[in-house]
């Protein structure tokens, strides 16, 4: 990664054109982010099919080292980025959350592929978690099944842009500088099904209500599979009747387009404007002071 | 002698190292200046050495058959009669053939008769479930759903960004012809027209009615067919006698007139019932 | 045994399957009846005599190779559980299929591990997913799910937490398809039975012995943990599921004495994504892209096995045309190309495991990228090709491998397809194989690390149902392309790669020879493609239906995939007209069954060799855990 001073140079203080290649006036946040985003070391672990594409991205044809994702570290202690590359199963989510807890701050999670984002084609399976974000805060989602190496690179660039938008001054962006020790993410438990410790009260209540009223929750009726097979065969030919509209369907709000880092850029723009406003305010104050004198 | 095997291997590694620079010399170090002229050779079968694609500055264009998430075709904005109209008839075959069942379609109904009409009221694809298998595009009898080539889709929030609705899914016909000219041309030959099947019928009907002097609708689509066919595939334009469109693939592809007739009858029945009750 | 071998003119070890069944019937009258269900084959054995019959099948009839053992739940179709066994002769020929039935309430079938060790993991899987107990099994514990999971999920009356509908296509998708995310509608999984006294503290017992005990390992953790002082050097080492050398999320628990491994227990299921349960909900066509995600290195081979199995079933019906010659030639070409991809990947990562970190792999991936470019241009995706269909293919070869610029900075490539293929097959791939040999075959470090390490004898390899390069590296010349030929392999000229030693190096040699043989096959395919130019790729001249009806019956389609024998056991139930969804869809995964001898192979070697031994088996977790 070559040092590009112009890239850093983005405060309200102008640098003379002839000096642009030699000096940079920057904010601490920007310097800090610049350092962080260009030394993102991913953790060396693959889950499923997407891991193969991740390896292809790491290999010479696409080579994510060009962006500072330099080396993959096998230990979480040396990793900044967890690429969740593949289907997260209930059995595997326990080690993954543990690994996440072992990573030092600042740490980021990139959900690679449909499975890690939301369960993917295997979502209906009994051992599959419907998205890594059920357990960990995910920073970037890369759709695709599997995403091509170029799609993954795009997601990694999106992550860098996201980091660019963060500020040291904003406590939400850098919680690891906050007061007190950070709470580790609760590790899920494997019981009759996967159990998120945060949901334990809810599950206990459900179990109790199931015990009181077997009809409502506890028993599963046997499906008449042969009948369903026959019924399905008919519906394939016959025109199906319209079903009543689903009342609790999601109201999906969709983006109007643009790149994912639009948001980050907006924030940056706002910050710049605020800085300019402060500067203007200072200038007017100084002017008022001078007038007063 | 012990160590010769090792030495040979190391020499091979050295050769690979040198070869990647020979390639640079051959192209005068242009590979770092994003030149287009030798990209095909460097990424083809003839190259030697390790050649990196400088991703955001140069991208490997995807082949025509490449499939990422699906999109829906709508008629171009400058189409004379059907601008912005869906090709989809909401027949539901894509939803049935989708292996992970990520397609949701609300079939449109005529507000008066309650009968289904050939366009979707709502169309959703959950790209967190989609496995990019391409079945929807393969089995669509109307060429209305296609696999997109745009893989740059990373986002920071999946709850809102990853369920694509009809607005997000819809892309014009010209986009499809742009990303897959050969496929689009082959489909045109089967369909008989560059537009949706119904457009040709409408055009025919328009021509017929104008002949009778009731309408002055020009038969513009028919003209665009021949001109654009010749322009898109000049080498095959001699053989480009469009085959007649296949008829009656599903209930909705029948003639509009029939449907109009049924609707009129239903309205009459309704009126009669109202009169009886009154 | 001795007196019987003398009597018939043709020895019973090579007798036809019908003769073998007749022999069994005369030997065990009453215990055996023919399976006369429509479209079914083989015999049904009385469970009480199963072990005896199996001994005869193996010892006297010569069916020494147990390819697949799987359970089927016939709820509503006779209301019984059934174990289906496919046994083959390593000399070649068809399968002797035998089955044992038991009731659904309290299912139990005697274990066949004493006859074929290869039944070990497969019986554990049947216990895990179907709840069939196997008296006589040495270590009958769950293998894919965790201990404590509620129920046995593959049973037909078992439902997932986010259960939507019984069979696909779901009615909720069309015509009233209002989008929803199923996990948000059913947050706490109403199908899960939680005990009323559920206690988080009890579930979260994370003490060492609890962690290992719950796995049901053969390792005696108590003995090793509860010792005082340092009388012995034995200790338990856990590797995985997050470990760079396990090729994914695989876990091994080793007991080591110093550096020497005394026992090894594989632990899997970390990528168990319910392939079979989902497969039984899918229609036949839906399953093809799911097979891509089994062995995701060689998806073309997975497609091939599955379409062969379903085509076998379809051929039971009246209207069936076999695939055209061009279709078969294209299939074989794609499968051989993916075999090359698979072996390059396997050798590369095996080298990673034994210390040649990443340089060779990078060279092989470079080559693989060219093949993937070809797959992408023909089938539409680099890895998940989804290329084969019942009676045909997704599409013929395109005239040109051509890309169209549609993003900023896109760089266009445009090659003639046949020229690209010819150059790749005649120049690039052979050159890479030569380089590979130059780099490794005589390399002293490779030799030191791999010769006489991880030895598996021929008898063990057969007994443990090893397949693919693992089996052939132990001196058993068993390749399904020759032993039980399919597609156009009989007319192609190639040799089976065999090495006698049975160590890691022998497996590497087998893979290199197979790479060369694949190139040989591909060179024969090229003129066939030229000759059949213009021929339809569809058996019926037009693309198949999107919801084909498959006649009642069972089929076992198997192919020689890069990793070994990949088999699909498909049952079609649902009345006379057949069904559009498979009743049973089982994958006989080579990566899964090849792990059965891992413990045996690892004993006595050093910890550092274990990763190499695992690498030389060449597993892919998508297929191991399914």
Q: What is the mean pLDDT of residues A124-152?
A: 88
Q: What is the mean pLDDT of residues C542-566?
A: 87
- Whether residue A195 lies inside any domain: the answer is yes
Q: What is the mean pLDDT of residues A232-239?
A: 40
The answer to whether residue B179 neighbours chain C at the CB level (below 8 Å) is yes
Q: What is the mean pLDDT of residues C510-519?
A: 93
Task: Give every residue of chain B whose pLDDT is below 50, as ranges.
Answer: 213-255
For B46, residues 6+ apart whose C-beta sits below 8 A from its C-beta are C423
Q: Which candidate from A125, A202, A223 shows the least CB-CB separation from C274? A: A125
Please tell me the predicted confidence (pLDDT) of residue C231.
52
Which residues from chain C sit within 8 angstroms of residue B63, using beta carbons?
373, 376-377, 380, 398, 401-403
State whether A86 and A142 are in the same domain. Answer: yes
- Distance of residue A276 Cα from the nearest chain C Cα, in angstroms: 34
Give the other-Cβ count within 10 Å of C302's Cβ. 31
Q: Taking 50 as the threshold, does the pLDDT of residue A254 lie above it?
A: no
For C325, residues 6+ apart whose C-beta sits below 8 A from its C-beta are C488, C528, C532, C535
Rounded Cα distance between C45 and C53, Å, is 8
Rounded Cα distance between B64 and C398, Å, is 10
Q: Taking 80 as the threshold, does the pLDDT of residue A92 lie above it?
A: yes
The answer to whether residue A211 neighbours chain C at the CB level (below 8 Å) is yes
Q: Taking 60 as the threshold, does the pLDDT of residue C142 lie above it?
A: yes
Check CB contact under 8 Å for C76 and A224. Answer: yes
Q: How far is CA C55 from CA A88, A274, C11, C87, in A?
A: 42, 84, 17, 12
Check CB contact under 8 Å for A255 and B161. Answer: yes
The sign one gets for the Cα dihedral A161, A167, A173, A176 is positive
Residue C188's pLDDT band (cuts 50, 70, 90): low
CA angle, C202 then C208 then C214, to 5°: 60
The answer to whether residue C298 neighbours chain A at the CB level (below 8 Å) is no
Residues 436-465 of C with CB under 8 A from A: none
The answer to whether residue C170 neighbours chain A at the CB level (below 8 Å) is no
Residues 245-274 of A with CB under 8 A from B: 245, 250, 252-255, 260, 263
Check CB contact under 8 Å for A246 and C180. Answer: yes
- Distance of residue C407 Cα from the nearest chain B Cα, in angstroms: 7
Q: Taking 90 as the threshold, does the pLDDT of residue A176 lie above it?
A: no
Residues 2-41 of A with CB under 8 A from C: none
State whether A143 and A52 are in the same domain. Answer: yes
Please tell me the predicted confidence (pLDDT) of residue B252.
37
Q: What is the mean pLDDT of residues C543-547?
A: 82
The total number of structural domains in chain A stands at 2
Q: What is the residue extent of each domain of chain B? A: 1-61, 64-179, 181-245
Check CB contact under 8 Å for C191 and A220. Answer: yes
Rounded Cα distance between C288 and C557, Å, is 14
Rounded Cα distance between B9 and C350, Å, is 17
Residue C203's pLDDT band (cuts 50, 70, 90): low
The answer to whether residue A146 neighbours chain C at the CB level (below 8 Å) is yes
Show the tokens assigned to C309.
């199995």
Instruction: Please tell me the total number of residues recorded for chain B in this structure.
Output: 278
Q: Taking 60 as the threshold, does the pLDDT of residue C262 lie above it?
A: yes
**Do residues B37 and B18 lie in contact, with contact meaning Cβ atoms separated by under 8 Å?**
no
Rounded Cα distance between C367 and C560, Å, is 22
Q: How far is CA A7 from CA A4, A64, B57, C279, C341, in A?
A: 5, 20, 17, 52, 42
Q: How far is CA B250 from CA B124, B243, B254, B255, B257, in A?
A: 22, 19, 8, 11, 16
Task: Give the HSE-up count for residue C387: Cα atoms under 13 Å, Cβ half-sphere.
Answer: 33
CATH superfamily assigned to domain C275-625: Cytochrome-c3 Hydrogenase, chain B (1.10.645.10)
Look up the CATH number of the domain holding residue A78: 3.40.50.12280
Rounded Cα distance between A148 and B68, Å, is 9
More confident residue, A203 or C71: C71
Q: Taking 50 as the threshold, does the pLDDT of residue C425 lie above it?
A: yes
More confident residue, B30 or C178: C178
**To the nearest 10°, the Cα dihedral for C244, C246, C249, C254?**
-110
Q: Taking 60 as the threshold, does the pLDDT of residue A120 lie above it?
A: yes
CATH classification for the domain delimited by B64-179, as one of 3.30.390.30, 3.40.50.10860, 3.30.70.3270, 3.40.50.2300: 3.30.70.3270
Check CB contact under 8 Å for A148 and C382. Answer: yes
- Report DSSP state, residue B63: B
Residue C265's pLDDT band (cuts 50, 70, 90): confident
More confident residue, C411 or C374: C374
- Report DSSP state, residue B58: S
Which residues from chain C sit within 8 angstroms of residue B97, using beta carbons?
169, 285-286, 546-547
Any chains having at least 3 CB pairs less than 8 A from chain A are B, C
- Distance of residue B32 Cα from the nearest chain C Cα, in angstroms: 13
Please tell me the predicted confidence (pLDDT) of residue A247.
32
State whether A137 and A214 are in the same domain. Answer: no
Nearest to C171 by CA among B249, B92, B115: B92
**Do residues C155 and C73 lie in contact, with contact meaning Cβ atoms separated by under 8 Å?**
yes
In this prediction, what percent of chain C has a pLDDT beyond 90?
30
State whether A143 and A216 are in the same domain. Answer: no
- Which of B13, B128, B165, B251 is the mutation pick for testing A, counting most A CBs within 10 A? B128
The answer to whether residue B273 neighbours chain C at the CB level (below 8 Å) is no
Residue A37's pLDDT band (cuts 50, 70, 90): confident
Helix (H) or strand (E) holding B257: helix B256-277
Looking at the whole model, is its pTM more than 0.95?
Answer: no
Please tell me the predicted confidence (pLDDT) of residue C216.
53
The answer to whether residue B33 neighbours chain C at the CB level (below 8 Å) is no
Rounded Cα distance between C524 and C531, Å, is 11
Which residues from chain A sit within 8 angstroms of residue B163, using beta carbons?
250, 252, 254
Burial of A278 (0-12, 13-18, 19+ CB in 10 A): exposed
Residues 292-321 of C with CB under 8 A from B: 293
CATH superfamily assigned to domain C2-130: NADH:ubiquinone oxidoreductase Nqo5 subunit (3.30.460.80)
Q: What is the DSSP string of A99-149?
A: HHHHSPSS-EEEEEHHHHHH-GGGTTSTTB-S-GGGTS--SEEE-SSSPPH
Residues 22-61 of A with CB under 8 A from B: 60-61
CA angle, B166 then B167 then B169, to 5°: 60
The answer to whether residue B45 neighbours chain C at the CB level (below 8 Å) is yes
Check CB contact under 8 Å for A249 and C574. Answer: no
Write down which residue in A114, A148, A182 finishes a domain.
A148
Residues 237-266 of B with CB under 8 A from A: 251
Please tell me the predicted confidence (pLDDT) of residue C506.
92
Q: Taking 80 as the threshold, does the pLDDT of residue A170 lie above it?
A: no
Write down which residue in A83, A115, A148 finishes a domain.
A148
- Distance of residue A36 Cα from the nearest chain C Cα, in angstroms: 25
Please tell me the predicted confidence (pLDDT) of residue A205.
74
Q: Taking 70 as the threshold, does the pLDDT of residue A232 lie above it?
A: no
State whether A61 and A144 are in the same domain. Answer: yes
Q: Taking 50 as the threshold, does the pLDDT of residue A236 lie above it?
A: no
**To the nearest 10°, the Cα dihedral for C224, C230, C232, C238?**
40
The answer to whether residue C362 neighbours chain B at the CB level (below 8 Å) is yes
Which residues from chain B sit within 8 angstroms of residue C441, using beta carbons?
5
Which residues from chain A sit within 8 angstroms of residue C573, using beta carbons?
226, 229
The answer to whether residue B57 neighbours chain A at the CB level (below 8 Å) is no
Which residues from chain B sit within 8 angstroms of residue A111, using beta carbons?
158
Least confident of A222-226, C35-39, C456-460: A222-226
Q: What is the mean pLDDT of residues A161-184?
A: 75
Q: What is the mean pLDDT of residues A48-66?
A: 88
Residue C600's pLDDT band (cuts 50, 70, 90): confident
Q: Give the residue from chain A lying closest to B125, CA to CA.
A: A252
State whether A206 and A134 are in the same domain. Answer: no
- Which of B68, B156, B170 is the mutation pick for testing A, counting most A CBs within 10 A? B156
Residue C45's pLDDT band (cuts 50, 70, 90): very high
Q: What is the mean pLDDT of residues C334-358?
A: 89
Q: What is the mean pLDDT of residues A54-75?
A: 87
Residue C566's pLDDT band (cuts 50, 70, 90): very high
**To the nearest 10°, the Cα dihedral for A232, A233, A234, A239?**
70
Whether residue A106 is preceded by a cis peptide bond, meaning omega within 30 degrees of 0, is yes
Least confident of B6-20, B227-241, C247-261, C325-339: B227-241
State whether A133 and A202 are in the same domain. Answer: no
Q: Which residues of chain C form CATH 1.10.645.10?
A: 275-625
Task: Give the HSE-up count for residue C202: Cα atoms under 13 Å, Cβ half-sphere.
Answer: 7
The answer to whether residue A94 neighbours chain C at the CB level (below 8 Å) is no
Check CB contact under 8 Å for A146 and C577. Answer: no
- Whether residue A131 lies inside any domain: the answer is yes
Q: Taking 50 as the threshold, does the pLDDT of residue C244 lie above it?
A: yes
Domain that holds residue A201: 191-223
First-to-final CA distance of chain A: 52
Instruction: Please tell me the total number of residues recorded for chain C in this structure.
Output: 626
The answer to whether residue A192 neighbours chain C at the CB level (below 8 Å) is yes
Q: Give the residue from chain C lying closest to B126, CA to CA.
A: C179
Q: Give the residue from chain C lying closest to B162, CA to CA.
A: C181
CA angle, C505 then C509 then C513, to 5°: 170
Alpha helices, H only, B27-151: 39-42, 93-97, 135-139
Which residues from chain A sit within 8 angstroms of residue B106, using beta carbons?
245
Show the tokens assigned to A132.
């890594």
Q: What is the mean pLDDT of residues A213-217?
A: 48
Helix (H) or strand (E) holding B272: helix B256-277
- Whether residue A132 lies inside any domain: the answer is yes
Instruction: Please tell me the total number of residues recorded for chain A in this structure.
Output: 293
The answer to whether residue C277 neighbours chain B at the CB level (below 8 Å) is no
Size of interface A-B (CB pairs under 8 A): 134
Q: What is the mean pLDDT of residues C230-247?
A: 74
Please tell me the predicted confidence (pLDDT) of residue C570.
92
- Whether residue A261 lies inside any domain: the answer is no
**Do residues C200 and A200 lie in contact, with contact meaning Cβ atoms separated by under 8 Å?**
yes
Q: What is the mean pLDDT of residues C113-121?
A: 90
Mean pLDDT of all residues in chain A? Answer: 74
Q: What are phi and psi of C443, to 5 degrees?
A: -65, 125
Residues 158-177 of B with CB under 8 A from A: 158, 160-165, 167-168
Which residues from chain A sit within 8 angstroms of residue B160, using beta carbons?
252-255
In this prediction, what percent of chain A has a pLDDT beyond 70?
70
């Amino acid at each position: 990664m070559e040092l590009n001073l112009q890239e850093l140079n983005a405060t309200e203080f102008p640098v003379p054109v002839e000096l642009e290649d030699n000096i940079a006036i920057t904010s601490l946040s920007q310097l800090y982010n610049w350092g962080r985003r260009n030394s993102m070391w991913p953790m060396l672990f693959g889950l499923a099919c997407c891991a193969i594409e991740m390896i292809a991205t790491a290999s010479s044809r696409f080579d994510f080292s060009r962006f500072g994702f330099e080396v993959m570290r096998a230990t979480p202690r040396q990793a900044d980025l967890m690429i969740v590359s593949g289907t997260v199963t209930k059995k595997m989510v326990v080690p993954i959350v543990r690994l996440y807890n072992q990573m030092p701050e600042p740490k980021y999670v990139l959900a690679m592929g449909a499975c890690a984002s939301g369960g993917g084609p295997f979502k209906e399976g009994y051992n599959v978690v419907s998205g890594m974000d059920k357990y960990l805060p995910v920073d970037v989602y890369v759709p695709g099944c599997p995403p091509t190496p170029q799609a993954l690179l795009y997601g990694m660039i999106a992550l860098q842009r996201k980091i660019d938008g963060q500020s040291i001054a904003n406590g939400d962006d850098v919680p690891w500088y906050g007061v007190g020790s950070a709470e580790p993410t609760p590790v899920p438990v494997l019981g009759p099904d996967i159990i998120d410790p945060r949901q334990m009260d809810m599950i206990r209540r459900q179990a109790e209500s199931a015990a009181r009223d077997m009809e409502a929750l506890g028993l599963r009726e046997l499906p008449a599979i042969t009948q369903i097979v026959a019924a399905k065969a008919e519906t394939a030919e016959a025109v199906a009747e319209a079903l009543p509209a689903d009342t609790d369907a999601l109201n999906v709000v969709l983006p109007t387009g643009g790149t994912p880092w639009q948001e980050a850029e907006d924030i940056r723009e706002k910050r710049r404007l605020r800085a300019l406003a402060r500067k203007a305010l200072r200038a007017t104050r100084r002017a008022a002071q001078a007038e007063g004198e | 002698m012990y160590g010769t095997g090792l030495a040979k291997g190391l020499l091979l590694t050295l050769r690979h190292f040198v070869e990647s620079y020979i390639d640079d010399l051959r192209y005068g170090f242009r590979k770092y200046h994003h030149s287009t002229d030798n990209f095909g050779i460097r990424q083809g079968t003839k190259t030697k050495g390790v050649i990196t694609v400088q991703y955001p500055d140069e991208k490997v264009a995807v082949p025509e058959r490449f499939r990422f998430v699906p999109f829906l075709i709508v008629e171009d904005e400058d189409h004379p009669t059907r601008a912005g109209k869906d090709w989809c008839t909401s027949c539901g075959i894509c939803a049935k053939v989708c292996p992970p069942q990520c397609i949701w379609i609300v079939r449109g109904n005529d507000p008066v008769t309650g009968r289904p009409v050939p366009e979707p009221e709502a169309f959703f694809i959950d790209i967190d479930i989609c496995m990019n298998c391409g079945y929807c595009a393969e089995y669509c009898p109307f060429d209305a759903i296609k696999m997109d080539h745009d893989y740059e889709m990373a986002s920071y929030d999946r709850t809102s960004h990853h369920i694509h609705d009809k607005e997000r899914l819809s892309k014009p016909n010209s986009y499809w012809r742009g990303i897959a000219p050969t496929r689009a041309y082959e489909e045109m030959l089967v369909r008989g027209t560059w537009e949706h099947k119904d457009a040709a019928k409408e055009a025919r009907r328009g021509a017929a009615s104008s002949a009778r002097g009731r309408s002055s609708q020009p038969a513009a689509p028919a003209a665009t067919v021949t001109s654009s066919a010749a322009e898109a595939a000049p080498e095959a334009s001699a053989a480009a006698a469009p085959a007649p469109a296949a008829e009656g693939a599903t209930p909705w592809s029948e003639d509009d007139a029939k449907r109009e007739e049924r609707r009129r009858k239903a309205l009459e029945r309704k009126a009669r019932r109202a009169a009886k009750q009154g | 045994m001795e007196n019987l071998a003398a009597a018939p003119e043709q020895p019973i070890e090579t007798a036809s399957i019908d003769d073998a069944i007749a022999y069994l019937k005369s030997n065990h009258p009453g215990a055996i009846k023919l399976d006369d269900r429509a479209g079914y084959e083989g015999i049904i054995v009385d469970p009480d005599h199963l072990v005896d019959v199996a001994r005869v099948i193996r010892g006297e009839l010569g069916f020494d190779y147990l390819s697949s053992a799987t359970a089927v739940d016939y709820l509503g179709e006779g209301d019984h559980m059934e174990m289906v066994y496919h046994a083959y002769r390593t000399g070649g020929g068809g399968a002797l299929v035998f089955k044992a039935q038991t009731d659904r309430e309290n299912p139990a079938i005697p274990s066949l591990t004493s006859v074929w060790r290869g039944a070990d993991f497969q019986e554990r899987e049947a216990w895990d997913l179907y709840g069939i107990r196997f008296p006589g099994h040495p270590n009958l514990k769950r293998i894919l799910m965790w201990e404590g999971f509620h129920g046995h999920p593959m049973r037909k009356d078992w439902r997932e937490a986010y259960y939507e509908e019984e069979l696909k296509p779901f009615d909720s998708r069309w015509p009233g398809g209002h989008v929803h995310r199923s996990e948000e509608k059913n947050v706490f999984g109403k199908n899960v039975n939680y005990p009323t006294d559920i206690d988080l503290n009890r579930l979260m017992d994370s003490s060492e012995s609890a962690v290992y005990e719950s796995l049901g390992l053969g390792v005696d953790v108590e003995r090793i943990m509860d010792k005082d002082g340092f009388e012995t050097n034995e200790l338990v080492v856990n590797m995985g599921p997050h470990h760079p050398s396990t090729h994914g999320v695989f876990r091994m628990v080793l007991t080591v004495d110093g550096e020497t491994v005394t026992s090894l227990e594989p632990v899997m299921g970390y990528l168990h994504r319910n392939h079979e349960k989902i497969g039984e909900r899918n229609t036949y066509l839906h399953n093809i892209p799911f097979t891509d995600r089994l062995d995701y290195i060689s998806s073309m081979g997975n497609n091939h096995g599955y379409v062969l199995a379903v085509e076998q079933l379809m051929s039971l019906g009246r209207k069936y045309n076999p695939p055209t010659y061009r279709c078969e030639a294209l299939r074989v070409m794609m499968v051989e190309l993916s075999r090359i991809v698979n072996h390059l990947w396997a050798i590369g990562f095996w080298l990673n495991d034994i210390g040649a970190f990443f340089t060779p792999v990078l060279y092989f991936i470079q080559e693989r990228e060219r093949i993937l470019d070809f797959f992408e241009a023909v089938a539409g995706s680099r890895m998940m090709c989804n290329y084969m269909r019942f009676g045909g293919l997704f599409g013929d070869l395109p005239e040109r491998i051509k890309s169209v610029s549609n993003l900023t900075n896109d760089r266009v490539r445009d090659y003639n397809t046949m020229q690209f293929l010819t150059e790749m097959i005649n120049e690039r791939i052979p050159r890479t194989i030569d380089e590979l040999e130059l780099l490794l075959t005589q390399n002293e470090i490779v030799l030191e690390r791999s010769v006489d390490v991880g030895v598996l004898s021929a008898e063990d390899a057969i007994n443990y149902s090893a397949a693919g390069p693992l089996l052939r590296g132990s001196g058993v010349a068993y390749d399904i392309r020759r032993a039980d030929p399919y597609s156009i392999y009989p007319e192609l000229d190639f040799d089976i790669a065999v090495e006698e030693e049975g160590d890691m190096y022998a497996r590497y040699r087998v893979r290199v020879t197979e790479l060369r043989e694949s190139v040989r096959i591909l060179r024969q395919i090229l003129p066939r493609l030229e000759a059949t130019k213009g021929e339809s790729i569809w058996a019926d001249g037009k693309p198949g239906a999107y919801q084909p009806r498959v006649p009642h019956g069972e089929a076992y389609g198997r192919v020689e995939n890069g990793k070994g024998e990949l088999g699909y056991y498909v049952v079609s139930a649902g009345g006379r007209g057949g069904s559009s969804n498979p009743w049973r869809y089982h994958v006989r995964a080579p990566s899964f069954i090849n792990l059965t001898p891992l413990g045996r192979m690892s004993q006595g070697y050093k910890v550092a060799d274990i990763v190499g031994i695992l690498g030389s088996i060449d597993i892919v977790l998508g297929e191991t855990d399914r």
